[in-house]
Amino acid sequence: MAGVTDLPFRRICREHGASMVFTEMISAKGLCLGDRKSLSLLWSDGSDRPLGVQIFGAEPLMLAEAARICQELGADLLDINMGCPVHKVVKQGAGAALLRDLKLIEKIIRDVRLSITIPLTVKIRAGWDSRNIVASEVARICEHNGVDAIIIHPRTRSQGYGSPADWSLIEEAQSMVSIPVIGNGDVFSARDVLRMMASTGCKGVMIGRAARGNPWIFSGAAKLLQGHGDVRGPTLPERLFIIRRHLSAVCAQYPCKKALGVSKNHLLRYLRGVPNGRRLRDRISKANDLSEIMELLELLENSLSDAQEMEPVDHPGRKVEPLLHGSKRIN
Ligand SMILES: Cc1cc2nc3c(=O)[nH]c(=O)nc-3n(C[C@H](O)[C@H](O)[C@H](O)COP(=O)(O)O)c2cc1C
């Protein structure tokens, strides 16, 4: 997720059971031109493995060259973005705009496949609009051209996040191809992971928005998949422990001003569902530096009775807001 899935956040997700994580989308052109900002999105370390790197672009040879660069720089898997609905991406013919040109999709996949030996995945939306649903056709193209798995977010570009993801399109695609289909879209709780797998037959599940402030969704899903009957959310001390770890990794990675913005962004989500959290979130939004935020967290910790501390804090499942993909970038 653009502006979200940086190294600190990916590490937290892994520690909670995410088996594969991806960078945010990176411009193929930026990588080919050696643009510093694009290259900085590849920031990673040995604890961040296996790492999927996602690139976007519209020109086959440029995407192929960018893929080669990613492989050379250590990517374990390369993913091509064919689903981003944001105007500034689709106006370049990239992201979801590719779904209007299946021949170009095939050319891109062939060229990228030839340029790398690491696993290749493609992430798509269902199609450009409701009259042009192409998910299964793209899945077939992927299968015939050496793609290792396809990730489907079954909404059209026109839908944005406006209507529910249509999981039946995931089921349809998985029934037509033998490569794994990874389902994505509207997985808001650990239980939704099982629901998606059972109802679509998909071989994997990708979680986006619901992981923000709630990495426990991965451990919860892993436990349910192992047959545990029920899972509880973290207690407040558990939550605070992870928040502090996350924020200190953010501070280690970014200059102060950027670290403050990134921290607030994550923290406001971590504190959803915390009793009387509204005022606290308000004060965090207005904080001018990180020490102020740390003091507020300490106040929260001290204000709790023992009984409250032991109560699991459940993340409010369906209250994941319908963000426009990429619209809330913080950098
Ligand atoms: C802030 C934000 C940034 C995103 N950035 C990307 C991106 O860089 N690449 C991508 O493939 N999808 C991106 N997405 C889309 C998500 O990966 C995912 O497909 C979509 O949100 C549906 O899944 P969910 O219901 O689990 O969130 C982004 C979504 C959000 C909310």
Known catalytic residue: 256? no
Out of 37-51, 71-85, 191-205, 313-327, least confident range: 313-327
Q: What is the pLDDT of residue 94?
A: 98
Pocket of ligand 1 (CB under 6 A): 1-4, 24-25, 54, 81, 83-84, 123, 153, 184-187, 207-210, 323, 325-326, 328
What is the Å distance from ligand 1's center to 144 Cα? 26
- Secondary structure (DSSP) of 223-292: HHHTT-S---PPBHHHHHHHHHHHHHHHHHHS-HHHHHHHHHHHHHHHTTT-TTHHHHHHHHHH-SSHHH
DSSP letter for 19, please: S
Q: Whose CA is nearest to atom 23 of ligand 1?
A: 185
pLDDT digits (tens, 9 = 90+) for 128-170: 999 999 999 999 999 999 999 999 999 999 999 999 999 999 9
Mean pLDDT of 91-116: 98
- Sheet with 120-127: list strands edge to edge: 21-27, 51-56, 77-82, 120-127, 149-156, 181-184, 204-206
Q: Which atom of ligand 1 is nearest to the CA of 324?
A: 31
Test site for ligand 1: of 153, 157, 187, 318, most ligand atoms within 8 A of the Cβ: 153
CA angle 60, 135, 96 (to 5 degrees): 50
Question: Which residue in 13, 32, 84, 251 is the catalytic one?
Answer: 84
123 CA → ligand 1 middle, Å: 10
Residue nearest to atom 30 of ligand 1 (CA): 325
pLDDT tens for each residue of 241-291: 999 999 999 999 999 999 999 999 999 999 988 877 888 899 999 999 999
Residue closest to 40 by CA, chosen among 49, 50, 27, 57: 27
Q: What percent of the chain has pLDDT over 90?
A: 85
Q: How far apart are CA 34 and CA 228, in angstroms?
A: 48
